[in-house]
Structure 1
Amino acid sequence: MTAGDLLGREDPVREPVTTGPVTTEESPQELVTPTRPLDGVVQAWLQAGEGDTVAQFLDRLDEGDEDELLGLGELDMPEPAKSLLRYRQALIRHHRGLPLGPLPAQPPAIEFQALHDRVHGLRLPSPSRRLCLLLPLDKGDMGTSLQENFTLGLGEDKGDWELDVRSSEQPEAAIEGFAQAGCPLVITGPYLSRTERAAQRAAILGMPLISMGRDDTLPSISPWVFQVGLPNRHQIEALVKGAIDLRGYRRFAVLFPRSRDGWQSAEAFSEQVGRAGAEVVYLQPYMKGERTFTSLVEVMVGRDESSLNRRRDFRKCVSEIPETAKGLRKKRAWEGCRDHTAPVVDFDAIFVPDDLRTVRQLMAFLEQSDMVASLDERALWKTRKATSNKELQPTPILGLRQLNSNHLAKRTRFAVDGTLFVDAFYPQGKEHVLAGQYARAYYKRYKRKPGLLEATAFDLGRLTGELLKNSKLTDRYQLRGHLSSLAEFDAITGPWTMGPDGQVARPLKLLSIHRRHIMTEQERLAELEKAKSKKRRRGR
């Protein structure tokens, strides 16, 4: 809530809950005012109070740093700027759960009477024992599933605390409702546009907010905003490191959708590859939702018409087509020359930051272009034999956590061994027993395997339970400090350590596929070494 809100310049404000008399005197024990800012800042505000119009000064107050505004104290400036500053300081203190401090006895002008009355009518909400969830309840079963996983993680730790779950369709109104209800903390779902709006309102109200989203720019909105989702940037860092260090790849092709995530992922991948001393040799976007990749793959491997005409072997083949061949016969002869021209593969792997369906579709077009998008030795041998191309090298797919699915490992008709991707949730691992127990319990209830989002909601429930045990949910400032210093929290998608940017950092699993099973890349390499040892013992 801002001064502009109270003047009716934005959405109407809900009436706050009244619980006691107005506090108009500062209490040294209760009211904490930041240190007075530097003289240059004070001078800038004095000049603004003297030279700005009322509308300009209100905008300046709404955009100003809260600690800086509180640090101005009772700054002596002309009316109405002096009273408007007092009103804004009172709003900040109210949002932080502090007494309002000294207020003007009279409005500076008649047009500010409504603002004056509303600020004097503000009351601190009564302490609330509510756990507040802002979830996409309008998005099918997603909201309900996240709520149930949060509750499962919370277990019996909530005591007499009750859950307050609201839909994220109108995030600003929901956050205002949570503030009036005295919620100490808000946990939101994954949708970026809704989460951004909720985070902006929570920052104004001084409410800690934890998002399950994955946009790494979200925490920059305010120190009150934290994020535990897995950003693409973190996945790409781990993916590039694994591809270069464990597999020795040095040259990459990148195919990505024309979307915000697609462009950001392509840029981040190119940047990380460059830092590692490798290079991206081919970079090409495609329309989001594309299902036909014929022309894109042909250009990538030099099988489009302009590239073919520059190749001597293709021109020789075309020159041998009989002049008597006309129409369909000539077209088929030309296509035969194209198909017998080996693809130009000057890269080690292909990075595709897209969903599972698109990656599987792309694999079909790679196979059609006589490429092998896997490390399966038999598939490589068969393709080399069929195309008479003994120099053909495999070019596996690199992707993000969306590829961590048995639909890719077990239900794809192409060879997918060696496909490389990362994830934070790997219940098959033996190092975290609780992750496996959770996955089995989830499958027993829902008849499907949990994903990262459900596991994150479960971890948030466990984190909230830890905060309740340690009585960390009674004070917003104490809670914000505790979240900022979070370190090595034993999450099944972790461990979690809160970074200085408000984004959770955690070690990621580098995963691959071997013989239709998902496993870590280290496990895959160990399996290959076992197979080689058996061959040596048999004398093969």
Structure 2
Amino acid sequence: MTFQSVKRSSVKPALLLLAGFFIFGCASKRVVYHPSRQQQRPAQNQTGTTGSQGAVQSGQASPSGSAQGNVSGAVSGNTAGASGSTSLPVTQNPAPMLPPLNTTRPTETTNNLTELRKNLPNKKIAEDLIENKLSEDELAIAAATPSFDSVKPQVLLKLGKLNHKNRNSTKAAEYYRAVSSLYPNTPQGTQATALLGSIQASYSVDARVIGAVLPLTGRMSSIGQHALNAIRMGLELNKPEAKYRLALFDSQSNAEMAAKGVDKLIKEDKAIAILGGFTATEATAIGHQAELFNVPFIAFSQKTGLTNIGDYVFRNALTPEMQVDKLTQFAFEKLGARKFAIVFPNDSYGVEFSNIFWDHVLARGGEVTAAQTYDPKETDFSEVAQKLLGTYHIEARAEEYKQRLAQQKARKKKQKSTRDHWADDNILPPIVDFDVVFVPDSSRALGQILAFMKYYDVRQMNYIGTNIWNSPDLPKRVADENADLYFVEALDVSQGSTQHESPFIKDYSAQFSESPTIVEIQAYEAASILKSQLDSGVSSRENLASRLRYLGRSNGVTGELRMSNQRELQRPLHILSLDAGIIKKVE
């Protein structure tokens, strides 16, 4: 991009670009107004989790966070309670017959079938067409056409999966049975056999058993162990008269293992519902499996759009949407802000929050006048601050720079300075065309950003952030008294808060010698909600899911909970500020 003048012109930001592009191509440019400060809308980053092979684990978590008990067993109370089962409407030893196929060729699908026929010799392309291109009608035609016999196992398996996804378990079972019987020694036959077994097992439910897929080992193990403590309390498993049993599976912080855990909890433990899924990848994997078998699943992940997987996926988490909605409402209504800057790390967290924040600002009639990204490992924010403030690219303000440099030289000459060179860092004044800076990052990064903003002559500014600012390190990291800091949180950690009197918070603190975080609170609430529904006599997954969808309002640890139309539990949020080194609630 050429830098033509300092005249400001409104440039509508593009919604999405590749993250790599805006780092290396646009990272020094702003979104709107000044050409040298033009920054494109961040692209959506994607990250995953990895881990080793997992195993079923169970046992009571100790206060220190370790799991105790038999690896293949289950965390149990006593066995009193209700159970229910339904017989699968298929025969035990099915004949290798295909289900009825619709063989009416739709005219608009000819191209896909022609493409498949042409690529039959190319196994990879043919499989991609079957998985991602052919409609159900086209698949039915291929299944009934002899010329497609070489790919019939893949075609029939895909038809089974489509019917399974559409909740037609009977027809899905027929397809799976056909693949299993006709092609037993193929990968498709093996997969069909497993899926058929899952369907058969899914019809048997024990309403006394709640399943949980948690990361008890691996990089997320600390979160998993703390959540387990809270789930046990929510189900009242520590009481002698406990009615329910917790079937536990260790995901080992791995999405593939998490999906396997769902199969185990359905087939072997006959769990009526499943809790878990803290990371985006684990929650997605669990959600798809749970939805496939119509098992209610309450996730703890913040991943945007998670409940779009299906009607059996629920969530209890402090999502980016919830946090940003509260932050922008506060900024517009209490701070009177209309123009915003965003400084964010180029990771999945920073990019997602920045995109959502941008949407909410525009929806309220505001404007994002500056956006600057940085490497998550960055420690020197000098360049970031200069780019944000329009002082990095001198050529973009060439005439202004020359005038100010000449003025400075004249002053130096008049003062008879013996220096031949002058530092030009602060020759150009910063362009501060925003009321608030949004920083979706930790208090460590925030402290660095504030220090460099002050160095480049931005002394009075409002900064807003997410709940990860809520850390004991915040007062230590931020020493700028002229910076007004506000962040969103579900927990009111300010002095005198009545939330500290919550029975769960008091009991948890007494039992584990530490205060619960939002992680434990959400896990406890989800388990408590399941218990209350099962206590009322619900004995099937379908009825439980229906009761959860229409849950309405219920009591939570931090206040009233409400189940939204997107099957997400919503809670009251608070705006907290840092005042003289003390975190306080903003009334």
Give the TM-score of the pair, scaled to structure 1.
Answer: 0.70
Whether the 8 Å CA contact 2:461–2:483 is kept in 1: the answer is: no
Whether the 8 Å CA contact 1:150–1:457 is kept in 2: the answer is: yes
What do residues 6-28 of structure 1 show as CA deviations (whole Å, max 9, x unaligned)? xxxxxxxxxxxxx99975479xx
Say yes or no: does 1:460 pair with 2:526: yes
Say yes or no: does 1:154 pair with 2:220: no
Whether the 8 Å CA contact 2:521–2:557 is kept in 1: the answer is: yes
**More displaced 10-residue stretch of structure 1: 143-152 or 362-371:** 362-371
What do residues 483-535 of structure 1 show as CA deviations (whole Å, max 9, x unaligned)? 2222112112453323333333333222223333323322xxxxxxxxxxxxx
The structure, 1 or 2, with the larger RCO (C-alpha pairs under 8 Å, 6+ apart) is 2
- Offset of residue 77 of structure 1: 7.0
For 1:134 and 1:120, the matched residues in 2 are separated by 20
For 2:533 and 2:488, the matched residues in 1 are separated by 30
Say yes or no: does 1:142 pair with 2:223: yes
Q: What count of residue pairs does the alignment treat as equivalent?
A: 463
What do residues 359-401 of structure 1 show as CA deviations (whole Å, max 9, x unaligned)? 12222222322333xxxxxxxxxxxxxxxxxxxxx21211111
Question: What are the equivalent positions in structure 2 for 1:115-514 lying under 5 Å apart?
Answer: 118=193, 122=197, 123-124=200-201, 126-128=204-206, 129-138=208-217, 139-155=220-236, 159-168=242-251, 169=254, 170-181=257-268, 182-304=270-392, 306=394, 307=397, 310-311=400-401, 312-322=403-413, 329-331=419-421, 334-335=422-423, 338-339=425-426, 343-372=430-459, 394-409=460-475, 412-415=478-481, 418-426=484-492, 436-446=502-512, 448-472=514-538, 474-514=539-579
For 1:146 and 1:427, the matched residues in 2 are separated by 20
Flag structure 1 segments of 5+ consecutive residues without an equivalent. 1-18, 27-38, 373-393, 523-540
Task: Give the letter aligned to residue 320 of structure 2.
Answer: N
**More displaced 10-residue stretch of structure 1: 232-241 or 260-269:** 260-269
SS at match of 1:290: coil
SS at match of 1:489: strand
For 1:488 and 1:446, the matched residues in 2 are separated by 29
For 1:155 and 1:180, the matched residues in 2 are separated by 25
Alignment CA distance shift 1:119-1:347 (3 Å) = closer
Alignment CA distance shift 1:23-1:462 (3 Å) = closer
SS at match of 2:183: helix
**Aligned residue for 2:34?**
none
- Offset of residue 353 of structure 1: 1.0
Alignment CA distance shift 1:107-1:303 (3 Å) = closer
Question: What are the equivalent positions in structure 2 for 1:56-67 lying under 5 Å apart?
Answer: none
- Offset of residue 297 of structure 1: 1.1
For 1:162 and 1:396, the matched residues in 2 are separated by 50
**Aligned residue for 1:111?**
183
**Aligned residue for 1:383?**
none
**Aligned residue for 1:8?**
none
The structure with the largest alpha-carbon Rg is 1
SS at match of 2:521: helix
Task: Give the letter aligned to residue 133 of structure 1.
Answer: A
Task: Give the letter aligned to residue 233 of structure 1.
Answer: E
For 1:502 and 1:346, the matched residues in 2 are separated by 39
Whether the 8 Å CA contact 1:235–1:400 is kept in 2: the answer is: yes
- Offset of residue 342 of structure 1: 5.2
For 2:516 and 2:381, the matched residues in 1 are separated by 31
Task: Give the letter aligned to residue 155 of structure 1.
Answer: E
Whether the 8 Å CA contact 2:563–2:569 is kept in 1: the answer is: yes
Whether the 8 Å CA contact 1:91–1:119 is kept in 2: the answer is: no
Percent sequence identity over matched residues?
Answer: 19
SS at match of 1:184: strand
Whether the 8 Å CA contact 2:201–2:266 is kept in 1: the answer is: no
